[in-house]
Amino acid sequence: MVLLQVEKLEVVYHQVLTAVQGVSLAVRQGQIVALLGTNGAGKTTTLRAVSGFIGLDDARVTAGRILYRGEDIHGLPPHAVARRGVVLVPERDKVFESLTVLENLEVARRCPHQEARRLYDLVFTFFPQLAAVRHRQAGYLSGGERQMLAIASALLCRPQLLLVDELSLGLAPRLVQALMAQLQAIRRELDLTVLLVEQNAAAALAVADYGYVMENGRVVLDGEPSRLRAHPDIREFYLGHGEQQTRRSYRDVKQYRRRRRWYG
Amino acid sequence: MAYASGYFKTSYGAELALVETRLQWAALAALGLGLGLFPLLASPFALDLANQVLLAVIGAVALMLLTGYAGQISLGHAGLLAAGAFTTGILAEEAGAPFWLTVPASGAVGAVLGLVFGLPSLRLKGLYLAVSTLALHFIVAFLGSEYETRHGFSTGILLDSPRLGPVVLDDARLWYGLLLAVAAAVFLFSRNLLRTRTGRAWIALRDRDVVAAALGIPVAAAKLSAFVVSSVLTALAGCLFAYYRGFVSIEAFSLFTTIEYVAMLIIGGLGSLLGAVLGAVFVVTFPYLIDLAVDLLPVPARLSTYVFAVKYAAFGLIMLLFLLLEPEGLLGIWRRVRDYFVLWPFRYRPLAGRS
Amino acid sequence: MQLVVNTLVLAATYALIACGYVLVYRVSRVLNLAHGELMMLGGYLLLTTASLFAGRPLLAVAVALLLSLGLGLLVYVVLMRHFTGESVLAAVLVTIALGILLRGLAILLWTAQLQYPLVALGWQNPALSLGGGAVISAAGLLTLAAVAVVYGGLLLFLRYTPWGIRMRAAGENPLLAAQRGVALPQVLALAWGLATLSGGLAGMLLACDSGIDGTAVIVGLKAFPVALVGGLDSLSGALVGALLVAAAEVLAIAYLDPLVSDVVPFFVLLAMLLLRPWGLFGRREAFERV
């Protein structure tokens, strides 16, 4: 079943700049879907549109629909989106620094105590490090602990669809691997669906069931991870396995657009 | 958007020109003619109103430079006006100083106070800066009232009409001429200042101070210069205000006066000298409109006994409405109307979607 | 001795008003310059309910408090809701404009004369002797008690209740709070309601002690240096700031000149802004973000 369906989404910033130009995505129940692309490809904008934060930077959805379980959730206030089970783990400022770890979790809780206790236990079994620092202010946590806390507090919202923005940002590669594995385990345990927005294509494709690649506000490729990994452009521009050992960007290649179209 | 077809800028000089097209020259000439003929036709009441507007224009342009262009929020404007007025009053009263001495003295006091008001801005931003200028306002007001009570002017200081050479400025028409000249000079000075390095530094400062610093703009000097220039102009306005009224009292420079000036910027449109002028016209004439409305409409007796309260409430309401509905102020309305006619019969529609 | 009592009572009044500034600032980063007017309206509301429910003073007080709470909610829903995320200047100007509007309306509704709600309530305000020659008015004593109750309640509320934690979270990072399912409009409305409630309570006590007219606004304005001195985002800071400012003011009246009293808070404020602009107990990071 398709949980989240984005149809021909268009987002315009400041009434002039079209950041997302007709993006369509589908996230099926139980999958981990990766949305890949470099800076400025429109990934985060797409994610913001889904989580209801689009109005903040003078951005507007000018066309398209965002359907969650068949309901158009565009235009709902962010907290209403979160309460429907679409929960974001943001890229930056992902914890309340002046609150303790427990209070951070408490902010997100909106279920009765018994249910909450079960969730707390679950979170602390997944992230035992957090249990040790539960009374510490979140501002004093390390980057990895913050990311864990961010995921943990998102889980307290009892999400069905977890949107994760740049899980790997600023973290050591080993930690990224561990967190990705953790995410897979959580997904299985809670029957979650995950939309993973990443620049780190290798890490994301390792856990994903399906992937989309965005460039300049458009989806240019999509497919199973194995198929994406095998694609020469992905190998060269996103995974860094180019035949000539040069680190080029896709923007440097004239033929690129044409090749891509044949492929699609 | 271009407002004349076939008009292209072909030299750097054209880029800098203040008046660009013949139509603008014509409009300017018409405006000058209208302003010149006004005192010959207007009633004494209208002339007094016009003089008040011109005084407010000077003050509003000064505040616009500081808040609208340099981005430094000040809630101490009335304090600076009071400083200019009191310098004039004290000098004239104690030393019998003539007009040509009190005016530069007020300017000098304004410059010093501008430095004092500006010093907190080196450390504070936004809200905190506004609050510090507010505190300074109260302190200046306190010093003023202290002077009044200590020296036995508890009702205020009386001033004689100033002499300019052989002319005694005691006629509303003469005042109109003087104030119009000063206001025009201040407007032109500000307009030119904004095209210089200093003016551009202020605008950069307003938009993003960190980037301005990175671009090599001496942020501290630019902030202080904004405060000093604005304060000098404000103190001059205060000095002229004192002479025009013939009377100096701290009562005239309450927090409400500051708010009126800030309201001029908001209602006129922040970040534009023309906006400051429009705002000054609106805010000064507004209470008289209320008077008129109370006189004409059948209102309950309580409203007419407390007309000042009606003015208060209406002023607050109009400010709220502008903030809520038209953040670009009168200037925004003017621009939309102009664009409508320039583009007619087509319409300019920005890229916008649902919601 | 009398000086100490005076300081305490004045500090209590300031603290009660200042916590409204702090609450609103902490949650929405807006300095509410209409707080003085909202406080004054609290006093006037008591005046009206006292004559409406003549003979049942407790009911009158309760209804006035409820109306105060409602007033705060109303201000948020009608007005401030539209300025979430707008610039600091715009939001502060809105509160200034609101203040002017309310001041005008208050005079139109209740006239400009000094009035005493105590008379309508049928209560007395006796001066109680504390020994050592010091006296305290009953209303002053009540103010001290009110501060203890309000601050104790608020600190517990913010520390331990879900709504309090949500309020703190929303104050620190409204975006993240919304993503965690916190309904910002409700939290903000609650903050405005509580701020106006405590301010209204201060206004009522002030009105009982010394009557109410338009000058009550000045007391409200003098209380905002208190909030800044303590640190705009710190409740306990407001208590200390209130003591500091009140002590300075009482000493200045006693030893310098009664006329100085109106500017002393602003002198203290300026000194604080120059030395430690984020206040005694404020967080430096919160200040840098402005």
Q: What pLDDT, in 10s, does the model give residues A185-235?
A: 888 888 899 999 988 888 888 889 999 998 888 888 888 988 888 887 777
Interface size, chain A vs chain B, as Cβ–Cβ contacts under 8 Å: 25
Report the gap between the CA of C22 and the closest CA in chain B (Å): 14
Residue B28 has, within 13 A of its CA and on its CB side, a CA count of: 9
Residue B110: its pLDDT value, please? 94
User: Are residues B101 and B240 located together in one domain of the fold?
Assistant: yes
Residue B118 contacts residue B224 (beta carbons within 8 Å): yes
Secondary structure in 3-state letters for B102-147: HHHHHHHHHHHHHHHHHHHHHCCCHHHHHHHHHHHHHHHHHHHHHH
Interface size, chain A vs chain C, as Cβ–Cβ contacts under 8 Å: 73
Greatest Cα pair distance, chain A, in angstroms, is 60
- Measured between beta carbons, the chain C residues lying within 8 angstroms of B125 are 290
- Say how many C-beta atoms besides its own lie within 10 A of residue B15's C-beta: 10
Tell me if B278 is assigned to some domain. yes
User: Are residues B144 and B232 located together in one domain of the fold?
Assistant: yes
B354 and A61 in contact by Cβ < 8 A? yes
Helix (H) / strand (E) element for B302: namely helix B301-305
Residue B348: its pLDDT value, please? 62
Q: How many domains does chain B have?
A: 2
A106 and C177 in contact by Cβ < 8 A? no
CB environment C117-129: b (16+ within 10 A), e (fewer) = bbebbeeeeeeee
Among residues B232, B252, B272, the one where a domain terminates is B252
Which portions of chain B are predicted below pLDDT 70? 1-7, 154, 302, 347-355
Those of residues 160-219 in C touching chain A at CB distance below 8 A are 162, 165-166, 168-169, 172-173, 175-185
Tell me if B93 is assigned to some domain. yes
User: Are residues B222 and B301 located together in one domain of the fold?
Assistant: no
Q: Which candidate from A79, A93, A104 shows the least CB-CB separation from C181?
A: A79
Contacts of B252 (CB under 8 A, 6+ apart): B82, B85, B241, B245
Q: What pLDDT, in 10s, does the model give residues C115-160?
A: 888 888 878 888 888 777 788 888 889 999 999 999 999 999 999 9
Residue A194: its pLDDT value, please? 93
Chain C residue with CA closest to B149: the answer is: C259
- Measured between beta carbons, the chain B residues lying within 8 angstroms of C262 are 138, 142
Chain B residue with CA closest to A58: the answer is: B352
- Measured between beta carbons, the chain A residues lying within 8 angstroms of B327 are none
Residue B355: its pLDDT value, please? 34
Q: Which residues pair with A35 in a beta bridge?
A: A197, A212
pLDDT surpasses 80 at C284: no
C283 and A98 in contact by Cβ < 8 A? yes
**Position C211 confidence tier, pLDDT thresholds 50, 70, 90:** confident
A96 and C168 in contact by Cβ < 8 A? yes
pLDDT surpasses 90 at C218: no
Residue A93: its pLDDT value, please? 85
Tell me if B354 is assigned to some domain. no
**Position C98 confidence tier, pLDDT thresholds 50, 70, 90:** very high
**ω into residue B345 within 30 of 0, thus cis?**
yes
C100 and B259 in contact by Cβ < 8 A? yes
Residue B9: its pLDDT value, please? 75
What average pLDDT score do residues C215-220 get? 87
Among residues B252, B272, B306, the one where a domain terminates is B252
Report the gap between the CA of A174 and the closest CA in chain B (Å): 36
Residue B122: its pLDDT value, please? 86
Q: Which candidate from A93, A106, A110 shows the least CB-CB separation from C173?
A: A93
**Strand bridging mode B163-164 / B167-168:** antiparallel
- Measured between beta carbons, the chain B residues lying within 8 angstroms of A61 are 353-355
- Say how many C-beta atoms besides its own lie within 10 A of residue A122's C-beta: 16
CB environment B112-121: b (16+ within 10 A), e (fewer) = ebbeebbbbb
Tell me if B25 is assigned to some domain. no
| B neighbour chains, 3+ CB pairs within 8 Å | A, C
CA dihedral B298, B301, B305, B311 (to 10 degrees): -40
Contacts of B33 (CB under 8 A, 6+ apart): none
**Cα(B241)–Cα(B234) distance, integer angstroms:** 10
User: Are residues B230 and B300 located together in one domain of the fold?
Assistant: no
Kindly give the residue spans of alpha helices, DSSP state H, lying in C123-234.
138-160, 162-172, 174-179, 184-210, 216-230
C111 and B266 in contact by Cβ < 8 A? no
| A neighbour chains, 3+ CB pairs within 8 Å | B, C
- Measured between beta carbons, the chain A residues lying within 8 angstroms of B351 are 12, 15-16, 18, 62
Interface size, chain B vs chain C, as Cβ–Cβ contacts under 8 Å: 121
A79 and C178 in contact by Cβ < 8 A? yes
Domains of chain A (ranges plus CATH)? 2-85+161-170+196-263 (3.40.50.300)
Helix (H) / strand (E) element for C100: namely helix C88-110
Report the gap between the CA of C240 and the closest CA in chain B (Å): 20
Q: Which candidate from B120, B146, B312 shows the least CB-CB separation from C104?
A: B312
- Measured between beta carbons, the chain C residues lying within 8 angstroms of B313 are 100-101, 103-105, 108
**Cα(C8)–Cα(C216) distance, integer angstroms:** 19
What average pLDDT score do residues A55-82 get? 86
- Measured between beta carbons, the chain A residues lying within 8 angstroms of C180 are 82, 87, 107-108, 153-154, 156-157
**Cα(C99)–Cα(C105) distance, integer angstroms:** 10
Report the gap between the CA of C266 and the closest CA in chain B (Å): 5
Q: What are all long-range contacts of C4-10, with beta carbons under 8 Å and residues at least 24 apart?
A: C4/C134, C5/C130, C5/C134, C5/C135, C5/C136, C5/C140, C6/C250, C7/C243, C7/C246, C7/C247, C7/C250, C8/C144, C8/C246, C9/C136, C9/C137, C9/C140, C9/C143, C9/C144, C10/C246, C10/C249, C10/C250
Residue A249: its pLDDT value, please? 62
DSSP classification of residue B52: H
- Which ipTM value was assigned to this complex? 0.86
Residue A170: its pLDDT value, please? 83
A93 and C178 in contact by Cβ < 8 A? no
Among residues B205, B225, B252, the one where a domain terminates is B252
Report the gap between the CA of A84 and the closest CA in chain B (Å): 20
Domain with B327, as residue range(s), is 254-348
Tell me if B34 is assigned to some domain. no
Report the gap between the CA of C186 and the closest CA in chain A (Å): 11
Residue A262: its pLDDT value, please? 45
Residue B284: its pLDDT value, please? 94
User: Are residues B176 and B265 located together in one domain of the fold?
Assistant: no
Chain centroid to CA B350: 33
- Measured between beta carbons, the chain A residues lying within 8 angstroms of B354 are 61-62, 75
**Cα(B261)–Cα(B77) distance, integer angstroms:** 7
B313 and C98 in contact by Cβ < 8 A? no
User: Are residues B285 and B188 located together in one domain of the fold?
Assistant: no
User: Are residues B223 and B288 located together in one domain of the fold?
Assistant: no
Tell me if B205 is assigned to some domain. yes
Q: What pLDDT, in 10s, does the model give residues C41-78?
A: 999 999 999 888 888 889 999 999 999 999 999 999 99
Question: Which tokens hold the place of C196?
Answer: 């106006």
Letter for the amino acid at B1? M
User: Are residues B174 and B151 located together in one domain of the fold?
Assistant: yes
- Measured between beta carbons, the chain C residues lying within 8 angstroms of B136 are 270
Residue B349: its pLDDT value, please? 61
A15 and B350 in contact by Cβ < 8 A? yes
Contacts of C290 (CB under 8 A, 6+ apart): B125, B126, B127, B128, C29, C88
Residue C248 contacts residue C164 (beta carbons within 8 Å): no
Residue A241: its pLDDT value, please? 61
Question: Does the beta carbon of B355 lie under 8 angstroms from any beta carbon of chain A?
Answer: yes
Residue C266 contacts residue B79 (beta carbons within 8 Å): no
- Say how many C-beta atoms besides its own lie within 10 A of residue B4's C-beta: 12
What average pLDDT score do residues A57-67 get? 84
- Measured between beta carbons, the chain A residues lying within 8 angstroms of B350 are 15-16
C175 and A154 in contact by Cβ < 8 A? no
List chain C domain ranges.
2-288
The answer as to CATH 1.10.3470 being correct for domain C2-288 is yes
**Cα(A117)–Cα(A123) distance, integer angstroms:** 10
